[in-house]
Structure 1
Amino acid sequence: MPSMIAISATAVPDHLRGALTRWLLEVTPDLYVGTVSAKVRDELWTSVAASTGDGTAVLIHPADNEQGFTLYTAGSHRREPLDFEGMTLIGFRRESQETAKPL
């Protein structure tokens, strides 16, 4: 049964953005929304995760859990989904000493 999904893809290659627009609407820059089957959703996410490069991507889709949705992330990002007793929370990674900008 088809369900609505949302994919946020920031700083990803142009070919990936084009591939996403074949299945989903780009409602604002970098935000793709549509209704697809679970098989199409999984195939899209496999392509996104493999092609993210230096960018970041997040997939959100309905799920039968307390929050009503599941989210997946790919790429280099500061935000990280954490499971806390069945609830997904977002944690922030600290910048390492090597990548921190001098004052």
Structure 2
Amino acid sequence: MTVIICNDTPAAIRGMLKRWFVEPKPNVFVGTVNRRTREKTIEYIRRNAPGLGMLILATAPNSQGFSIVSYGETHRIPVVYDGHYLIAEKWNEDDEC
């Protein structure tokens, strides 16, 4: 399964994504495609909408069962912590823990 979350998807990109994915909520696309189709789709989007921010969750053979990748500027940042994917909602390098 693949989930693509975009920021302000252009109409042409949205139409192309609807070929393989359903859009349960604006700019959220969910579908079951093979790895090659997913990679070609992401490549097409990055080439034709270079400023588009995307967060992509895809099935992967790891303990969580998925991986997370982001492209462009998104409001969420994927972080790998102790081998697990987490989402940072706000990230400040200057803040001390």
The TM-score range, normalised by the shorter chain, is: 0.7 to 0.9
Query: Identity percentage over the alignment?
Result: 30
TM-score (norm 1): 0.74
Q: Deviations over 1:15-41 (max 9, x none)?
A: 111111122111221111111111101
Match for 1:7 among 1, 4, 7?
4
Aligned-pair CA distance for 1:60 = 1.0
TM-score (norm 2): 0.78
Structure 1 vs Structure 2 CA RMSD: 1.7
Bigger Rg over Cα: 1
8 Å contact 1:56–1:74 — kept in the other structure? yes
Match for 1:69 among 66, 70, 74?
66
Q: Where in structure 2 are there 5+ consecutive unaligned residues?
A: 93-97
Residues of 2 paired with 1:56 and 1:44: CA distance?
A: 14
Secondary structure of 1:23's partner? coil
Q: Which residue of 1 aligns with 2:95?
A: none
The aligned amino acid for 1:82 is V
Q: Which residue of 2 aligns with 1:97?
A: none
**4+ residue runs of structure 1 moved beyond 3 angstroms?**
none
**Structure with the higher strand share, 1 or 2:** 1
Equivalences, count: 90
Match for 1:40 among 37, 41, 54?
37
Q: Which residue of 2 aligns with 1:99?
A: none
2:85 counterpart of 1:93: no
Aligned-pair CA distance for 1:52 = 4.8
